[in-house]
Amino acid sequence: MPFHQYFNGEILPIDQSIFKTNDLGLLRGYGLFDYFRTYNGLPFRWDDYWKRFENSARLLKLPLSVSQQETEKILADLFAMSGEQEVAFRFVLTGGYAPDSVNVVEPNFLIRTEALPQDNPAGRLKGIKVIPYEYVRDLPEIKTTNYVHMVLMADEMKRQQAADLLFHKDGEVSELTRSNIFIFQGDKLITSDRNILNGITRRVVLELAQPHFEIEVRPVTYKEVVTADEIFTTSTTKWVMPVVQIGDLPVQDGLAGKRTLFLQKLFEELVADWGK
């Protein structure tokens, strides 16, 4: 069966055009999104993802037209119609159609059902390279649709065979373009607490790490990152992915660290048993 999408109360084929050209998401870049997936046919950490989406909408002053319970039913219908064992869901909430091209009248709410991505599965074993990039996202707590810096740097990342950008500014590291970052100093696990999106995978990894490592959630300096014993990044698609090179600098011996791989295994075990 083909994938479908929900748009303002209707379920439509995924390839059907829906947006008019005076949507504030198009005209002004005023919109947000969220992204998550199923494991064993069930949305992963659904309550956490909904709360983050709801918080982003509140901060952008965009009212939601459906409740969490109503949205849950929509997800179940979209999943059943897909005929797939697992799917990803992409929420998009825009400022809606604006006659004056400025003021929000009624937001547009889209839910896309998508095939699961293959976000560099080899990187989970061998690790990835990232490029340092001086930038801090505007309104980092909101998962906005503005990814202009990632798109601008796409050719350079390809040229350098890098998987992502490492955002830093004024000597402090925040995150990657689409994921959070962690470092190990010995058995101490450290991750930033500001200028970041509060990732759900990040939260899960902190929970998994709690019994095994000392944890510090605080500002992280660029110097700490480039001298760390291990580095990894977390997201819905990356899971727990080692970072083994920053620009021209290898992370220690340039191999995925044993502590990182330990947390990766814990996460893989968790999602394999999700809902069972």
Tell whether 78 and 104 lie within a shared domain: yes
Tell whether 70 and 159 lie within a shared domain: no
Output the pLDDT for position 16: 95
Output the pLDDT for position 118: 74
Tell whether 82 and 202 lie within a shared domain: no
Tell whether 62 and 43 lie within a shared domain: yes
Tell whether 140 and 243 lie within a shared domain: yes
CA 36 – CA 203 distance, rounded (Å): 14
Tell whether 52 and 187 lie within a shared domain: no
Tell whether 254 and 138 lie within a shared domain: yes
To which residue do tokens 């660290």 refer? Answer: 257
Report the 10 Å Cβ neighbour count for 52. Answer: 22
CATH number at residue 142: 3.20.10.10
Q: Chunked in runs of 10, what are the mean pLDDT values of the chain (276 residues)?
A: 92 95 96 97 98 97 97 97 96 97 96 88 90 96 96 97 97 97 98 97 98 98 98 96 97 97 97 93
**Helix (H) and strand (E) counts in the chain:** 9, 16
Output the pLDDT for position 119: 67
Tell whether 105 and 152 lie within a shared domain: no
Output the pLDDT for position 50: 98
Burial 126-152 (b: 16+ CB within 10 A, else e): ebbbbbbbebbbeebebbbebeeebee
CA 58 – CA 46 distance, rounded (Å): 18
Residue 233 near residue 243 (C-beta atoms within 8 A): yes
Output the pLDDT for position 201: 98
The count of residues in the chain is 276
Tell whether 40 and 88 lie within a shared domain: yes
Q: Which of 114, 141, 166 is the last residue of a domain?
A: 114
CATH number at residue 103: 3.30.470.10
**How many structural domains comprise the chain?**
2
Q: Which residues contact 209 (CB under 8 A, 6 or more apart)?
A: 189, 215, 263
Output the pLDDT for position 1: 58
Query: What residue numbers bound the domain in which 249 lies?
Result: 123-272
Read off the DSSP letter of residue 144.
Answer: B
Closest to 233 in 3D by CA, of 268, 255, 201: 201
Output the pLDDT for position 109: 98
Q: Which of 66, 81, 114 is the last residue of a domain?
A: 114
Alpha-carbon torsion (77, 78, 84, 90), positive or negative: negative
Output the pLDDT for position 121: 76
Roughly how many angstroms between the first and final C-alpha of the chain, as a whole number? 26
pTM, 2 dp = 0.95
Output the pLDDT for position 120: 74
Tell whether 64 and 144 lie within a shared domain: no
Q: Read out DSSP for 29-77?
A: --EEEEEEEEETTEETTHHHHHHHHHHHHHHTT---SS-HHHHHHHHHH
Q: Which of 89, 114, 139 is the last residue of a domain?
A: 114
Tell whether 72 and 142 lie within a shared domain: no
